[in-house]
């Protein structure tokens, strides 16, 4: 049995930052990662992120039949490698809205209001384009608007402005509403993941041990306290002892699964799988939120798109200088828009990409195309994560339950109408050809609703399954300590009381930054 001050489960966005911060002060840290290294060209070339889907570096989850989507099972990619999903995401750096965090604080997440969390966003940031008062410079994570860009993103924003959506410079600045060129976690034309930003600089520290291929099976509990983690490594069962704390950072699917495997969760459900109940906690795995996303595509009248980016001629410029189409993250610009002006924050993120993006990038078309992703970032529906079995290697049962709440489908219809309007406005209209999805033939409300339910996917943003809240409503307290268990915290996107109105990578890093401070403060 090895012994460490801290044992962290999961080397994703949160785990990599935590490993850096906790080891920096001299504490001994063991970081357990079920997957392997992120040494893959598809994890380095920004454009190639979809090439990792359904491969060995993907957890390759599948949802339960979704009731509001005609019973379809959704493919749910999550990174299974150093950096986690930050090593296979679309690299969009979007923090969400001020109202998200003020709402968290109002609902009991003391210390998590916007003004209180802003310093933690800035602490890890090295922004190439913006500085104070909203951005940091000199942190580990490089954020930039610079990469290969098509000639279409500005006409897209101009057409949106003609449709009443003002252009702004910084969606992470004083206001989120409007259309902007997206900031991305790209450095010198290459992905800058949490692994590259936070873990790589710390790897030579003698007090940090990183174990890849180490799959956690349960948190070891003794007398109401977490004292270690049992895991499989190299085919052998091992236990790592945590002298101070165990920190679970396995993500919105993995963290509740590990807690339940450890006997922390809804009692009847655990007993159903033969797991001894250590702590009755019905909220573990509940409150799952995801951003539904509907894709729309048009043929493009010019050749200036990413549809030919896999041609060998684009490889050498990227290898030598990080330039060219392989440095694109596909998502060039985005609108943050309120489908109802009475809302406190935007409920849609409309992403523009100069490529045919459909079915997670698996489906191709022979002609150049443009895409808009209508991501519903203000969902009301809730899903859950439950065990499939007591076997830690078995994927959990995941039900997103997207588009099941009243009014959600009407909001998506309004966004679809807006996207069609933008595509019809100059200067974008001159570049747009035939509407491929859903196609101009679908016009009636019933036709469009059926199409939405038949094709809706998601934006890869699961959260809230171990959310901050009192014991009767949440899993962790505002210090991210699991209710009822000493020495155990959850620090990742699963603790969000509600999903943010934007992409979840930046908020997850913020949560880890603040979580590290809370952990170190407790040990001082």
The C-alpha atoms of residue 301 and residue 304 are separated, in whole angstroms, by 9
Residue 152 annotated in active site: no
| 328: helix, strand or coil | coil
| Strand partners for 374 | 294, 350
DSSP string, 89-122: S--B-----HHHHHHHHHTT-TT-SHHHHHHHHH
Question: What's the rounded Cα separation, in Å, for the pair 278 and 263?
Answer: 5
**Phi–psi pair at 340, nearest 5 degrees:** -135, 115
Tokens of 268: 């009847």
**Rounded-to-integer distance, Cα 289 and Cα 266, Å:** 19
Residue 230 CA to residue 393 CA, distance in Å, equals: 13
Cα 514 to chain centroid, rounded: 18
Q: Are 76 and 222 in contact (CB under 8 A)?
A: no
In this structure, the chain runs to a length of: 524
Q: Could you give the C-alpha distances from 347 to 411, 417, 437, 500, in angstroms and in order?
A: 9, 15, 22, 10
Q: Which residues contact 289 (CB under 8 A, 6 or more apart)?
A: 379, 381, 382, 383, 462, 463, 464, 496, 498, 499
CA dihedral sign, ordered 496, 500, 505, 510: negative
Q: Are 136 and 129 in contact, with CB atoms under 8 Å apart?
A: no
Measure Cα distances from 56 to 36, 85, 190 in Å: 9, 13, 21
- Angle formed at CA 453 by CA 447 and CA 456, multiple of 5 degrees: 120
- Give me the helices (H) in 163-314, please: 194, 251-261, 267-272
CA 294/CA 283 separation, integer angstroms: 29
Kindly state the DSSP code that residue 458 receives in the 8-state scheme.
E
Closest CA to 210 of 80, 58, 3, 29: 29
Tokens at residue 289, please? Answer: 């939120």
Residues 6+ apart with CB under 8 A from 409: 403, 449, 452, 453
E-only strand ranges, 456-511? 457-458, 488-490
Q: Which long-range contacts (CB under 8 A, 24 or more apart) does 221-225 make?
A: 221/262, 221/263, 221/278, 221/485, 224/484, 224/485, 224/486, 225/485, 225/486, 225/487, 225/488
Catalytic residue among 152, 461, 483, 505: 461
State the pairing for strand pair 236-248/384-386: unpaired
Alpha carbons 511 and 95: distance in angstroms, whole number: 11
Q: Residues with catalytic annotation? A: 461
């Amino acid at each position: 049995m090895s012994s460490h001050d801290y044992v962290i489960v999961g080397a994703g966005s949160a785990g990599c930052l935590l490993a850096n911060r906790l080891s920096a002060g001299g504490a001994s840290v063991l970081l357990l990662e079920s997957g392997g290294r992120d040494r893959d060209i598809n994890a380095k070339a920004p454009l190639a992120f979809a090439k990792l889907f359904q491969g060995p570096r993907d957890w390759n989850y599948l949802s339960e039949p979704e009731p509001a989507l005609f019973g379809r099972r959704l493919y749910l990619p999550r990174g299974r490698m150093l950096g986690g999903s930050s090593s296979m995401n679309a690299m969009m750096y979007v923090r969400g809205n001020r109202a998200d965090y003020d709402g968290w604080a109002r609902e009991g997440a003391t210390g998590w209001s916007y003004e209180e969390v802003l310093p933690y966003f800035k602490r890890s940031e090295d922004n190439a384009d913006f500085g104070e008062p909203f951005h940091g410079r000199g942190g580990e994570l490089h954020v930039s608007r610079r990469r290969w860009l098509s000639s279409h993103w500005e006409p897209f924003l101009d057409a949106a402005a003609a449709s009443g959506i003002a252009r702004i410079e910084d969606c992470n600045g004083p206001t989120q509403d409007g259309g902007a060129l997206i900031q991305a976690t790209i450095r010198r034309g290459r992905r800058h993941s949490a692994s590259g930003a936070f873990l790589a600089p710390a790897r030579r520290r003698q007090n940090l041990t990183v174990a890849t291929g180490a799959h956690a099976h349960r948190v070891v509990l003794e007398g109401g306290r977490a004292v270690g983690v049992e895991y499989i490594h190299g085919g052998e069962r091992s236990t790592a002892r945590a002298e101070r704390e165990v920190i679970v950072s396995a993500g919105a699917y993995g963290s509740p699964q590990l807690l339940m495997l450890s006997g922390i969760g809804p009692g009847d459900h655990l007993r159903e799988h033969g797991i001894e109940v250590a702590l009755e906690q019905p909220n573990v795995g509940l409150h799952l939120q995801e951003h539904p996303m509907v894709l729309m595509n048009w043929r493009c009248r010019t050749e200036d798109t990413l549809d030919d980016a896999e041609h060998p001629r684009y490889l050498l410029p990227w290898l030598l200088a990080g330039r060219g189409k392989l440095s694109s993250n596909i998502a060039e610009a985005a609108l943050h828009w309120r489908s109802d002006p009475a809302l406190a924050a935007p409920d849609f993120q409309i992403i523009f990409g100069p490529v045919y993006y459909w079915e997670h990038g698996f489906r191709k078309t022979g002609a150049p195309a443009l895409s808009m992703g209508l991501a519903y970032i203000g969902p009301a529906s809730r899903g859950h994560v439950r065990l499939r079995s007591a076997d830690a290697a078995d994927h959990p049962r995941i039900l997103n339950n997207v588009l099941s709440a009243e009014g959600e489908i009407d909001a998506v219809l309004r966004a679809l109408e807006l996207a069609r309007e933008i595509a019809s406005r100059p200067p974008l209209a001159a570049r747009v050809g035939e509407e491929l999805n859903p196609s101009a033939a679908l016009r009636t409300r019933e036709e469009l609703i059926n199409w939405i339910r038949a094709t809706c996917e998601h934006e890869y943003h699961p959260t809230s399954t171990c959310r901050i809240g009192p014991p009767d409503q949440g899993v962790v307290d505002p210090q991210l300590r699991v209710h009822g268990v000493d020495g155990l915290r959850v620090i990742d996107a699963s603790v969000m009381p509600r999903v943010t109105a934007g992409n979840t990578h930046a908020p997850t890093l913020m949560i880890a930054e603040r979580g590290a401070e809370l952990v170190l403060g407790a040990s001082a």
